[in-house]
Amino acid sequence: MKRIILLSLPIALFVVLVVFFYSGLQRDPSVIPSPLIGKPAPAFTLESLADPRAQVGSLDFRGRPYLLNVWATWCGGCYQEHAVLLSIARENRLPLVGLNWRDERGKAQRWLEELGNPYAAVAFDGDGRAAIDWGVYGAPETFLVSAAGVVLHKHIGPMTAEAWQRDFVPRLGQAEP
Amino acid sequence: MIRLLALLLVLSAAAPAAAIDSEPAFDDPVLQQRYERLTQELRCLVCQNQSIADSNATLAADLRREVRRLLAEGRTDDEVRAFVTGRYGDFVLYRPPVTQRTWLLWAAPALLLLVGLGIAAAIVSRRARTATANGIAGGDEDEA
């Protein structure tokens, strides 16, 4: 009897390890949870993409929820998600604020002219400093910010209609003042 | 042969000289040392198996610039680490802090050593008992 217990011990250990590593395989290593969730959204004041003399700041949207979408013309996933952003903008539930990350102004302006502009305003983050404050490590990334200025959710990678319905729409009630 | 080996040795020592960082060094060598140590222990999130000192990704360059700025402002190492983890999470640290989620990771080597010692002690004491029972006190035999 004692022998059986001793012999089954390594097998049990092996099973535990298999379960542990298998569950590890299911996780996407490129999705890193943001420490900003539940914290005040980082403040920024940047030049507007459309007009370098105008400014776009986080305070412009105080008192109402908004989506902050980090994008750039060099980013393939941004091209992929653009149609989804346009349809979210058409729903007219909350403004989309663009953070144009380390891009060229002319290219970014042309992108919006050609593909359509889903944004209420676009801030031009040429040196990537505001993006660091938001913990951005790869475009596209999309944040839901509540009317109280708190980050409620972060979506990493291209926005999809499913992700919008699943992760954002249920939180919109919470985002209202 | 020996010459070839010597050449290889010299070449391998020269590898760190090919730095990614194009910014000028700090005038203060102490500050430069802190800068190098900090950038080596911060992970580049775009290329997850490189530190921001090793990576030529744009984000790594931006983060090096921020570390440089904070050090020049006179911030401490802990303040620089807090700046980065507050934005990117503990994952950026190659040496994660001991927290509720990581204590098992940190304690694992010591725990495994204890388990191993326990198993070894159990085997040794059983062998000793069997040996005594067989009347070979002192245990000269090495059947194992």
Kindly write down the DSSP assignment for every residue of A127-150, as one continuous string.
TSHHHHHTT--SS-EEEEE-TTSB
* Best residue in A20, A30, A137 for a mutation probing chain B (most B CBs within 10 Å): A137
DSSP state of A69: E
Q: Does a structural domain hold residue A121?
A: yes
CATH number at residue A103: 3.40.30.10
Tell which wins on pLDDT, A127 or B101. Answer: A127
Q: Pseudo-torsion of CA A59, A63, A165, A40, nearest 10°?
A: 60
In this structure, is the dihedral angle defined by the CA atoms of residues A31, A32, A33 and A37, taken in order, positive or negative? negative
Contact A129 B62 (CB under 8 A): yes
Of A33, A36, A132, the CB nearest to B62: A132
Residues A111-135 pLDDT 10s: 999 999 999 999 999 999 999 999 9
Question: What was the pLDDT predicted at B96?
Answer: 83
Residues A13-44 pLDDT 10s: 999 999 989 988 888 777 888 999 999 999 99
Check if B141 contacts A (Cβ < 8 Å): no
Question: Chain B residue closest to A31 (CA)?
Answer: B45
A96 - beta bridge partners?
A: A67
Question: Right CATH number for B2-92 from 1.10.510.10, 3.10.180.10, 1.10.357.10, 1.10.8.640?
Answer: 1.10.8.640
Residues A48-74 pLDDT 10s: 999 999 999 988 998 999 999 999 999
Question: What was the pLDDT predicted at B40?
Answer: 93
Q: Does a structural domain hold residue A25?
A: no
Check if A100 contacts B (Cβ < 8 Å): no
For chain A, what is the mean pLDDT? 93
Residues B73-87 pLDDT 10s: 999 999 999 999 999
Amino acid A36 reads: L
Q: Look at chain A and report how many structural domains it folds into.
A: 1
Check if A32 contacts B (Cβ < 8 Å): yes
* Contacts with A, B 86-105, CB within 8 Å: 86-89, 91
Residues B106-119 pLDDT 10s: 999 999 999 999 99
Residues A67-115 pLDDT 10s: 999 999 999 999 999 999 999 999 999 999 999 999 999 999 999 999 9
For residue B88, the chain A residues in CB contact (below 8 A) are 32, 35, 135, 137
Q: Does a structural domain hold residue A66?
A: yes
Return phi, psi of residue A69, to 5°.
Answer: -115, 120
Q: Does a structural domain hold residue A99?
A: yes
What is the interface pTM, i.e. ipTM, of the complex? 0.83
Classify burial at B53, counting beta carbons within 10 Å of its beta carbon; exposed 0-12, middle 13-18, buried 19 or more: buried
Q: Does a structural domain hold residue A78?
A: yes
For residue B45, the chain A residues in CB contact (below 8 A) are 32, 137-138
Residue extents of the structural domains in chain B: 2-92, 98-144
Contact B45 A129 (CB under 8 A): no
Q: Does a structural domain hold residue A75?
A: yes
Q: Does a structural domain hold residue A21?
A: no
Q: Does a structural domain hold residue A13?
A: no
Of A29, A128, A135, the CB nearest to B88: A135
